[in-house]
Structure 1
Amino acid sequence: MTYCVGMMLDKGLVLMSDTRTNSGVDNISVFRKMFYWSVPGDRIIALMTAGNLATTQAVISQLEERTKTPSERHNSLLEAPTMFQVAAEVGRLLRETIQNSQSDNGQNGEGRFTASIILCGQINGMEPRLFMIYPEGNFIEATSDTPFFQIGETKYGRPIILRGYERDMSFEDAVKLLMVSFDSTLKANLSVGMPLDVMVIARDGFGPLHVRRVHAEDAYFQSISSNWGNALKSAFDSLPDYSFGADREPPPANLELS
């Protein structure tokens, strides 16, 4: 399992992913799940992956080859005129990779090679865009109503983002919010693990503004985790006390069934 978040802000894009992969409790590894390609002054494209590792590595390897090896084939990442067309091509590549893996392994391979991708970036002269790509190859785009996407183990960190997100927040506050979201997920699910990868992409920057790998011993992350836990305990203690007093309404009487 994994946990990745891509977030749209007025200022640009913020991405965060964990790096844990596991095939059972005794087979845990660290693999990067965040990747990007950029052409200074023209475009930046970034993506994060979740799901079967062999599938996602195959997709990334094919995308890497297209950026490095001269070919007569149109390069969807570095030459596509819009981010929509980039998303469509990455979706097609993901779908074909999954279908080929299932075909090679027969019917028993069905469902074992699934994966999903968060794709984002900006092409010169256009707005930054953020997409969620499903295993079937189709995708949806972030909007003002849905300004962030999650893949992997989403349920533990989602409430934090929903309560704290503001589209006009600073990059620094967005990273802090995501660190709280990841801390909550790490506490609740052993299949998500450190280190974390962080990337900030400023509007019209066409390159990473900030890239960082956050390890478990990172002083700032430890401070976030400790202070967030203390703040939750303090908030809980400040809530009105519940009472078993006589002013409470009695429970409804039990109904007898005839």
Structure 2
Amino acid sequence: MTYCVGMMLDRGMVFMSDTRTNSGVDNISTFRKMVIWEKPGTACITVMTAGNLATTQAVISLLEERSKSPFERDPDILSASSMFQVATMIGNTLREVISTHADEGQRADAAFNATILVGGQIAGGEPRLFLIYPEGNFIEASADTPFFQIGETKYGRPILLRAYDPAMSYEEAIKLLLVSFDSTIKANLSVSLPLDVHVYEKGALTTGRRFRITGDDPYYQEISAGWGDALKAAFAQLPEFSFD
């Protein structure tokens, strides 16, 4: 399992993903789930993946090859004229990979399924964020749905719903996402640090601040402990229930 969030803000976008791919008792592994393609001044595209690792790796590898090799540039993600076209390309590639694997193996379950978040901006357009399903179809973020989650979403979603504000700063957005991720990590062993972060500024058309947060990061530890203490304090201040 995994947990990834893409968030739209008035000033840009923030992406965060965990890195755990296996959480067996004696087999814990990590893998980067965030990929960024850019053509400075023309396009900046961030992709995050959840689901079957072989499927997501195949999709990313195909997109990588088609954006580099002159003989395989069909489709070339960095030549798309809009983020809608980018989402369509990725959706078609995801459907292609899943259908190819399914023909060779298990058809009865969702063993090869994956979901993808893709967000970014192409010159001449606004920043856009899409959630792509295993079938290859997708939905777009809007004012009513300003962020998307994939993977283990249920533990961190209530926090985002209560505290999200499109006018918040990047720093506030990262703090909010860290609380959401910390709550998920505490509740589910299949999600874990390190966390990869990308902050894209509207109109930049190039990779923004990109960094990794590890378990020994002082700020993360402060957020994790502080959120737990704040919840206990808030709970203690609520009125007592009475059977009368």
TM superposition score normalised by structure 2: 0.97
| Cα distance between partner residues in 1 of 2:201 and 2:90 | 23
The letter of the residue matching 1:10 is: D
Moved over 2 A (4+): 23-27, 71-76
CA distance in 1, matches of 2:114, 2:187: 22
Structure 2 counterpart of 1:173: 172
Are residue 241 (structure 1) and residue 240 (structure 2) matched?
A: yes
Q: Identical aligned pairs, as a percentage?
A: 61
Encode CA deviations 1:58-96: one digit per residue, 9 max, x unaligned: 001111111221126444311111110110110000001
Deviations 1:123-181 (A, max 9, x none): 01110000000000000000100000000000000000001100111011001000000
Give, in whole Å, the separation in 2 of the partners of 1:239 and 1:195: 35
Change (3 A) 1:80 1:111: same
Where in structure 1 are there 5+ consecutive unaligned residues? 249-258
Give 1 or 2 for the bigger CA radius of gyration. 1
Q: CA deviation at 1:242?
A: 2.2
CA distance in structure 2 between the aligned counterparts of 1:170 and 1:26, rounded to whole angstroms: 40
SS in 2 for 1:78: helix
- Spell out the pairing of 1:30-179 with structure 2 (5 A cutoff): 30-71=30-71, 73-107=73-107, 110-179=109-178
- Match of 1:29? 29
Residue identity in the other structure for 2:186: K
Query: Helix, strand or coil for the counterpart of 1:111?
Result: coil
Task: Provide the C-alpha distance between the structure 2 equivalents of 1:149 and 1:72, rounded to a whole number of angstroms.
Answer: 31
Q: Which moved more, 1:22-31 or 1:92-101?
A: 22-31
SS at match of 1:107: coil
Aligned CA-pair RMSD? 1.2
Measure, in 1, the Cα distance between the counterparts of 2:15 and 2:211.
11
Residues 3, 151 of structure 1: 8 Å contact kept: yes
Determine if contact 2:118/2:131 at 8 Å carries over to the other structure: yes
Q: What is the distance in 2 between the residues matched to 1:228 and 1:73? A: 47
Answering whether residue 231 of structure 2 is matched by residue 232 of structure 1, we say: yes
What pairs with 1:1-12 in structure 2 (closer than 5 Å)? 1-12=1-12
- Cα 1:72–1:224 shift into 2, 3 Å: closer
The 8 Å contact of residues 76 and 85 in structure 1, kept in 2 or not, is answered as: no
TM-score for the superposition, normalised by structure 1: 0.92
